[in-house]
């Protein structure tokens, strides 16, 4: 049995029909899997409890992805003691591989796990992914050598994209047409809240009790996610028609590639600024180093608010929402670039960078689901591969201009160029969508 349609706003007949067909298929799959029993109804309270359970996983993911940035000196001191004693700067630079290895795991794991796990019931797949996070994070905290920790971080990153992808599909199914974007945003809110609360708190734990204690705390979050998902997330079938070939067929769609590129290039602009926020605060704006966590918390607050608004904008139409997000992001980059030498300008500008970038996250996630056809599991996961490509691209290009001696605010201009690139790709994506729509109408008329 499905959620009462009285609580589901229907935005058009096609969306309503597709949702009704999906729910009938879920009802039938439930009966087959549970001896003919009907699927129990979902109250609004149960739906939001399930979304909070999924968001808890996002909170753990945000914590494990970003906490290393504040603990690199501690990691270098522990895992590379000889090098740290002779050249601390080089040791800290090498310890950055714990961040890179995780990001590579995300990029590799998202399409592979999504393609292989498309047929698995979604709650079961989420439980396996939460277990993988838990084991990988415990290994990261306990393995003795630098090389083994790097390998563990890679393995811990593998479930990242698939978790968010499957969780987005579960959320979209529970919320129904007209609220899919809001469901996706609620799942992603765990990650954005982690940037405000989880990362500062866990970083403080790591600085006081050691970086390994910080990762053990993150592992506890993933174990709690396993329990919460098992108890609160309702059973949903996988896609019975999913095959590796069908999921990978998404890579044959130009629309999917363009949507992925929109995310990778556009989010690269955000990461160009985020990666160099500390020297922007201390060197460009002349603020004390103790204010860096507060500026990061302000940026995280922008991310959290923007994510919520982005979900609502996505439900109103992803095309318009992309241009709103990129237009605002370009403006925010200009503020950082021109006024970042003043504390008020930097704080306001970085808040807006986070706010506008977060608007784009659920929008692009929803757009990928819209254009992927039958490859829903893979498409929902690809957004997070795109985010991590953007992470690497923005940090790399921002580092080039900083290393060239052009100043710590120049990454904002790199971010502006990348945001402009994302805007151009968004125009291409909308043009392709209209071309496909005209072709479909022509075929129908013929």
Q: Can you read off the two tokens belonging to residue 375?
A: 């490859």
- Give me 47's structure tokens: 């739906």
Question: Looking at the predicted structure, is the pLDDT value of residue 118 above 60?
Answer: yes
Residue 251 has pLDDT above 80, yes or no: no
Residue 3, pLDDT above cutoff 50 = no
Confidence of residue 422 (pLDDT cuts 50, 70, 90): very high
User: What average pLDDT does the segment 390-410 reach?
Assistant: 85
Lowest mean pLDDT among 35-49, 73-87, 193-207: 35-49
Chain position carrying tokens 């556009």: 266
For the chain, which residues make up each domain, given as ranges?
Answer: 1-242, 243-446
Of the candidates 384, 374, 391, 371, the one whose C-alpha atom is nearest the C-alpha of residue 164 is 384
For the segment 163-180, the average pLDDT, to the nearest whole number, is 82
CA distance 161 to 167: 10
Taking only Cα atoms into account, the Rg of the chain, rounded to an integer number of angstroms, comes to: 22
pLDDT(81) > 90: yes
Please spell the DSSP secondary structure of 328-388, one letter per residue.
Answer: HHHHHHHHHHHHTTSHHHHHHHHHHHHHHHHHHHHHHHHHHHHH-TT-HHHHHHHHHHHHH
pLDDT recorded at residue 22: 57
Domain 243-446: which CATH number of 1.20.1250.20, 3.30.530.20, 1.10.760.10, 1.20.1260.10? 1.20.1250.20
Which is more confident, 91 or 215? 215
Would you state the pLDDT for residue 100? Answer: 80
In the prediction, which pLDDT does 4 show? Answer: 38
What was the pLDDT predicted at 407?
87
Read off the pTM.
0.75
pLDDT at residue 343 is higher than 60: yes
Which pLDDT belongs to residue 91? Answer: 80
Over residues 264-311, the pLDDT tens digits come to 999 899 988 988 887 898 889 999 877 888 888 899 899 999 999 998
pLDDT attached to residue 50 = 93
Chain-wide mean pLDDT for the chain? 84
CATH number for the domain formed by residue range(s) 1-242: 1.20.1250.20
Q: Is 373 left (phi over 0), alpha (psi -120 to 50) or beta?
A: left
In the chain, pLDDT over 70 holds for what percent of residues?
85
| Amino acid 275: pLDDT | 80
**Which is higher by pLDDT, 281 or 252?**
281
* 1-242 and 243-446 in the same fold: yes
Q: pLDDT grade, residue 141 (50/70/90)?
A: very high
Per residue in 16-48, pLDDT tens? 555 555 556 666 665 666 666 656 666 888 888
| pLDDT score recorded for residue 130 | 97
């Amino acid at each position: 049995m499905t959620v009462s349609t009285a609580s589901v706003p229907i935005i058009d007949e096609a969306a309503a029909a597709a949702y009704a067909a999906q729910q009938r298929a879920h009802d039938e799959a439930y009966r087959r899997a549970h001896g003919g029993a009907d699927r129990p109804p979902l109250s609004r309270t149960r739906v939001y409890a399930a979304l909070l359970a999924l968001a808890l996983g996002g909170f753990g993911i945000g914590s494990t992805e970003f906490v290393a940035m504040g603990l690199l000196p501690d990691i270098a001191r522990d895992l590379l003691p000889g090098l740290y004693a002779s050249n601390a700067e080089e040791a800290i630079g090498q310890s950055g591989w714990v961040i890179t290895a995780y990001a590579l795991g995300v990029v590799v794991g998202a399409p592979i796990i999504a393609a292989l796990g498309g047929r698995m019931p979604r709650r079961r797949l989420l439980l396996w992914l939460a277990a993988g996070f838990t084991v990988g994070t415990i290994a990261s905290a306990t393995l003795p050598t630098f090389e083994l920790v790097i390998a563990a971080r890679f393995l811990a990153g593998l479930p990242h994209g698939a978790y968010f992808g499957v969780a987005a599909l579960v959320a979209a199914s529970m919320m129904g047409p007209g609220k899919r974007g809001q469901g996706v945003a609620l799942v992603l809110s765990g990650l954005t809240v982690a940037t405000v609360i989880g990362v500062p708190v866990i970083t403080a734990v790591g600085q006081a009790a050691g970086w390994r204690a910080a990762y053990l705390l993150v592992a506890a979050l993933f174990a709690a996610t396993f329990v919460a998902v098992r108890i609160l997330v309702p059973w949903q079938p996988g896609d019975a028609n999913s095959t590796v070939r069908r999921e990978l067929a998404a890579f044959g769609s130009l629309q999917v590639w363009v949507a992925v590129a929109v995310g990778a290039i556009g989010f690269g602009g955000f990461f160009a600024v985020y990666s160099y926020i500390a020297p922007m605060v201390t060197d460009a704006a002349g603020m004390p180093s103790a204010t860096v966590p507060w500026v990061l918390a302000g940026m995280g607050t922008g991310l959290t608010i923007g994510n919520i608004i982005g979900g609502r904008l996505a439900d109103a139409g992803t095309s318009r929402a992309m241009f709103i997000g990129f237009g605002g992001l370009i403006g925010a980059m200009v503020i950082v670039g021109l006024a970042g030498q003043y504390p008020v300008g930097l704080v306001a500008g970085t808040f807006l960078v986070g706010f506008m970038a977060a608007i784009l996250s659920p929008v692009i996630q929803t757009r990928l689901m819209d254009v992927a056809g039958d490859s829903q599991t893979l498409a929902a996961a690809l957004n997070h591969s795109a985010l991590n490509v953007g992470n690497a691209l923005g940090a790399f290009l921002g580092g080039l201009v900083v290393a060239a001696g052009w100043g710590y605010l120049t990454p904002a201009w790199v971010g502006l160029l990348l945001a402009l690139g994302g805007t151009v790709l968004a125009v291409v994506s909308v043009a392709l969508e209209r071309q496909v729509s005209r072709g479909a109408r022509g075929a129908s008329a013929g």
